[in-house]
């Protein structure tokens, strides 16, 4: 596929002052044509009221810059865990609120980490996740939940096709459920990314490729099969630049957003206070299909 056809962006902020308008501005500053955000701090439950005027201003700016609202992604907070029966009611009601917020903002997709079994068995956790999704998914709202493929850290659910398949098969509203791939997580879970088409074949056979609605693009600090989940900047990790480029330009995922969640870069090893977003430079490298040896230097110097 051509670079002009790439739908590519990164994780961006969602500030109290500018809300969605600020997110659009940040995405544009990276040369992106899509983006992903949390509607509030992912680690707590504080949520500010949404300002419709800012949302309309954001829509205007998106229109002027050919950003397609239907490709924007919200990430659900990571404090919820539908697999933890002890906290089930809280997770369900908080996610219902997040779907409501996504719907108010006009956002169609919400990425969710399926959950972790913690002190329960995998079967109990899977059933709890399925029950939760069947309560949350609402056919009156145009919001689809995308289950993220996980690295399999600790008791995480969703690091195998079998687990994702079981959840999707048992979810009632099939048009409200999908999958978000994450290259770092796939790699850490042991998938051979040098043979990404074979993975897509398996995915298609087990679940159906049409369920893939988003892909997170990250390199990995660890080795394949490590089950670690630590993201690295594009081309600086163990997946490598060329493998990631082949995935990004894969025709079979042509119409879905590619979202970078790579780490901010610190000014130096001694100064971890000042950190800079890498996305402008990574998007540029991806469009040029050429790794830039001066990547870290350029990010730090804001060149």
CB of 156 vs Zn ion, minimal distance in Å: 10
Tell whether residue 219 is a contact of Fe ion (CB under 5 A).
Answer: no
Q: Which does 229 bind (CB under 5 to 8 A by kind): Zn ion, Fe ion, none?
A: Zn ion
Q: How far apart are CA 38 and CA 51, in angstroms?
A: 16
DSSP string of 74-88, one letter each residue = EE--TT--TT-GGGH
Residue nearer to Zn ion on the CB measure, 28 or 147: 147
- 266, 274 in Cβ contact below 8 A? yes
216 binds, among Fe ion, Zn ion, none (CB under 5 to 8 A by kind): Fe ion
Question: Which of 26, 163, 229, 282 is close enough to bind Zn ion by CB under 5 A?
Answer: 229
| 81's tokens | 């865990």
Size of site (CB under 5 A) for Zn ion: 1
Q: Which partner in Zn ion, Fe ion, none is near 98 (CB below 5 to 8 A by kind)?
A: none
Closest CB to Fe ion among 54 and 215?
215
Handedness of CA 12, 13, 14, 19 (dihedral sign): negative
Residue 182 found at the interface with Fe ion (CB under 5 A): yes
Token pair for 125: 């956790």
Compute the C-alpha angle 285/152/178, nearest 5°.
70
- Give the up-direction half-sphere exposure of residue 183: CA atoms within 13 A in the CB hemisphere: 32
Q: With binding defined as CB under 5 A, does residue 216 bind Fe ion?
A: yes
> For residues 42 and 97, which CB has a smaller minimum distance to Fe ion in the complex?
42
**148 in contact with Zn ion (CB under 5 A):** no
Q: Per CB under 5 A, which region of 43-51, 54-62, 225-233, 244-252 contacts Zn ion? A: 225-233
The CA angle 289-292-295, to the nearest 5 degrees, is 130
Binding site for Fe ion (CB under 5 A): 148, 182, 216
């Amino acid at each position: 596929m051509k670079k002009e056809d790439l739908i590519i962006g990164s994780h961006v902020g969602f500030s109290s002052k500018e809300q969605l308008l600020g997110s659009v501005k940040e995405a544009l500053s990276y040369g992106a044509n899509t983006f992903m955000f949390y509607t509030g701090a992912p680690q707590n439950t504080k949520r500010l009221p949404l300002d419709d005027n800012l949302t309309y201003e954001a829509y205007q700016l998106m229109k002027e810059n050919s950003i397609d609202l239907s490709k924007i992604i919200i990430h659900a907070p990571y404090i919820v865990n539908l697999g933890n029966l002890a906290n089930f009611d809280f997770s369900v009601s908080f996610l219902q609120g997040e779907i409501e917020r996504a719907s108010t903002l006009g956002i169609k997709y919400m990425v969710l980490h399926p959950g972790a079994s913690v002190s329960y068995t995998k079967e109990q956790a899977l059933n709890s996740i399925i029950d939760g999704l069947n309560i949350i998914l609402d056919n009156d709202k145009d919001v689809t939940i995308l289950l993220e493929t996980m690295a399999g850290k600790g008791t995480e659910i969703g690091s195998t096709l079998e687990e994702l398949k079981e959840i999707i098969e048992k979810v009632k509203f099939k048009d409200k459920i999908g999958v978000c791939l994450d290259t770092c997580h796939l790699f850490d879970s042991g998938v051979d990314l040098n043979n990404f088409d074979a993975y897509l074949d398996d995915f298609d056979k087990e679940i159906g490729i049409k369920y893939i609605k988003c892909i997170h693009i990250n390199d990995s600090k660890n080795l394949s099969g490590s089950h670690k989940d630590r993201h690295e900047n594009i081309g600086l990790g163990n997946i490598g630049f060329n493998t990631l480029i082949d995935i990004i330009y894969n025709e079979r995922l042509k119409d879905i957003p590619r979202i970078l969640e790579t780490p901010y870069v610190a000014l130096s090893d001694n100064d971890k206070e000042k950190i800079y977003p890498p996305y402008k430079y990574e998007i540029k490298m991806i469009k040029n299909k050429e790794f830039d040896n001066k990547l870290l230097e350029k990010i730090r110097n804001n060149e």
